[in-house]
Structure formats: C-alpha cells, structure tokens
C-alpha cells in the first residue's frame, strides 16, 4: 500500500513537472575547476531558480559530450540547444571572430571590453545567419609565455615545439620559427609529459588548471592578447521556450557576463601567485622581447587586414576609434 502510494506520488510529481520542465544539455570545452565553467554552473543554477525548475541546464564540461571543435556545429544543428566554445576558433569562417587573438591589439581586460563592444554586433549578425544567438562572452586573463628556458628575445623561441589553440597562435608560432601543434586545454599536461610540446602561450588560469609547474620553469608575462569564450544558444530551441523562460535565460546571461568579467579580472594575480608558490619563476619581459613581439604582432595584423572581410575591418576600426 505504502509502495503504491509512493509510486503514485512520484507519478503525480512527474506529471505536474513535465507540463513545463525541460532539460537542456550544454557542452563546454574546459574542466570544472576553470572559472569559465564555474561561471556557467552558476548560470545554470540561476536559470533553474528563475524558472522554478522549469528549465534545467546540464553542463557537460571538458569536451565530455562533444569535443571542443564540434560544439558550435552541435548547437547549430540542434543536437545540443546551447554550448560554449573559444570564440576565435571560428576565425576560419570570418576573421571578425579572431580579432581578440591578434597579438597586442587588446591586452588588458578593459581593452577587451572595448573590443567586445565593437565585435559583438558583428559576431551577433554572423551567428544569426547560422541560427545561433550569443548569450554571453567572457575573456580569459591576458596570455603569457610558458617555457623551460628563460626567453629574452623572440629568437629564443625558434625551434621550440609549441602548443597552439587557434589559427592566430599557429601563425605566431610559425613566424617566430617555432613548431606549432594544436592541443586542447584538457590535454596540455599529457602533451608536455610525452614531449609533444615544450612551450605554450596561455592564461595563468590554464597554467594552473594544467599544473604547468610539472613541466615548465618560467612564466613570462607578455600579456599578449585577451581571447574570449562565448556561450551561444540555438535560436529555434530558444524560441520554443515560454516567454518567461526566455526572459530568465537572458537575465541570467547578463548576470553571468558581468560575473565572468569580474572573475577574469581577479584571476591573473591569483593564479600567477599559485604558479609562483609551486616553483615557477615569474619573469617580466625584457625590452628586446617586447620589441620583438611588437614586430611579430604588426606583421600579423597586416596579414589579418589583408584577409579580413568588411565586417572584420569594421570591428577593428570601431575599436581603434575608442
């Protein structure tokens, strides 16, 4: 009897919920200890609370549902209603997506905010053509250099097996005569351990999440660029939500964007300290190295402009006017 009553109660509960409740799978590329992922977990909680459990977002981190390179198309095709990815990985579609990964264009979180203001309308329009809508975008801390020997000039990078994560970094590595290899953030430790790579450029956040002290000795704070992640939703899936749920998602997205930028600002100093505590030597770039990076950056920006769409060029010029 008791058993029957409880089955009945569960049945009732499910019926009551299924009228409105929906669960969305959300693939993301980075691990749960990474601040971007933590921010997304908060976002999911906020949506759950604001919809009284009507929209549950299940976060599948570290490429566990779709590998990073497939997340955008998974959301585009509706296999997943929303997802996160590294924005500049779309630069092969339009260079407007990749301007945040050009060396020395925007090198602080404040610059990055101006750049995103210039980039967002164009990115929104480009993604709309694929049935995608951006919800929020959050920067990584400025990107620094991880090596086993001290790097005093750009020439010191020649010949190094270099971990890369997008086309701009690959171009950079090639220009400094290093040998680039694409490696996902979650595979960095393994790639260093097996000798596949021996140097990288990434944020202190990723330095810590990959326990960089196990495989490099120096972190040089070149603060070369401030790339971003983006969270997008499939527009058809979004349109099928109730008006209230749509509002809840948009509100939670605005809160997540602000929280993410604040988290990113706090990350650099905190994570550099952790690297230092674990024995990595923190180096300020020499004047020679900085000058060399300027030269490489200038050459890359010329290449970028030569290949950029009108949309992409308009992003750069509206950023530069600020």
Which one, 226 or 312, has the nearer CB to ligand PCA? 226
Residues within the interface to ligand PCA (CB under 6 A): 86, 140, 143, 165, 185, 202-203, 205-206, 227
Which one, 24 or 192, has the nearer CB to ligand PCA? 192
Which one, 152 or 181, has the nearer CB to ligand PCA? 181
C-alpha–C-alpha distance, residues 109 and 114, integer Å: 9
Positive or negative, the Cα torsion across 180, 181, 186, 189?
A: negative
Provide Rg for the chain, Cα atoms: 21
CB of 140 to ligand PCA, least distance (A): 3
CB of 223 to ligand PCA, least distance (A): 12
Element (H, E) at 262: helix 243-277
Report whether 57 contacts 82 (CB < 8 A).
yes
- Chain position whose Cβ is nearest to ligand PCA: 203
C-alpha–C-alpha distance, residues 49 and 196, integer Å: 45
CB of 33 to ligand PCA, least distance (A): 13
CB of 19 to ligand PCA, least distance (A): 41
CB of 37 to ligand PCA, least distance (A): 12
Sheet holding 199-202, edge to edge: 179-182, 161-164, 199-202, 144-147, 218-220, 281-283
Which one, 54 or 83, has the nearer CB to ligand PCA? 83
Which one, 248 or 272, has the nearer CB to ligand PCA? 272
C-alpha–C-alpha distance, residues 63 and 66, integer Å: 5
């Amino acid at each position: 009897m008791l058993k029957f009553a409880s089955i009945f109660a569960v049945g009732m509960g499910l019926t009551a919920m299924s009228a409105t409740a929906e669960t969305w799978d959300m693939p993301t590329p980075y691990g749960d200890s990474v601040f971007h992922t933590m921010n997304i977990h908060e976002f999911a909680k906020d949506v759950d609370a604001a919809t009284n459990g009507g929209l549950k977002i299940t976060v599948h981190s570290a490429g566990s549902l779709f590998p990073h390179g497939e997340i955008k198309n998974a959301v585009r095709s509706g296999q997943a209603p929303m997802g996160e990815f590294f924005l500049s990985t779309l630069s092969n579609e339009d260079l407007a997506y990749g301007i945040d990964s050009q060396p020395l264009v925007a090198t602080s979180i404040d610059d990055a905010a101006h750049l995103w203001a210039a980039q967002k309308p164009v990115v929104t329009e480009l993604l709309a053509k694929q049935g995608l809508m951006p919800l929020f975008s959050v920067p990584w801390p400025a990107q620094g250099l991880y090596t086993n020997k001290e790097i005093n000039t750009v020439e010191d990078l020649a010949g190094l097996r270099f971990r890369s994560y997008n086309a701009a970094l690959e171009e950079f590595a090639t220009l400094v005569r290093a040998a680039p290899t694409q490696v996902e953030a979650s595979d960095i430790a393994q790639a260093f351990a097996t000798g596949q790579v021996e140097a990288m450029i990434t944020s202190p956040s990723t330095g810590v999440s990959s326990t960089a002290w196990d495989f490099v000795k120096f972190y040089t704070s070149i603060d070369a660029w401030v790339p971003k992640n983006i969270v997008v939703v499939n527009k058809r899936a979004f349109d099928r939500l109730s008006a209230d749920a749509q509002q809840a998602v948009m509100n939670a997205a605005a809160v997540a964007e602000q929280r993410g930028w604040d988290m990113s600002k706090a990350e650099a100093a905190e994570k550099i300290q952790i690297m230092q505590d674990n024995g990595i030597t923190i180096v300020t770039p020499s004047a020679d190295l900085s000058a060399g990076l300027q030269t490489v950056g200038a050459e890359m920006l010329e290449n970028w402009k030569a290949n950029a769409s009108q949309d992409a060029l308009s992003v750069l010029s509206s950023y530069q006017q600020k």
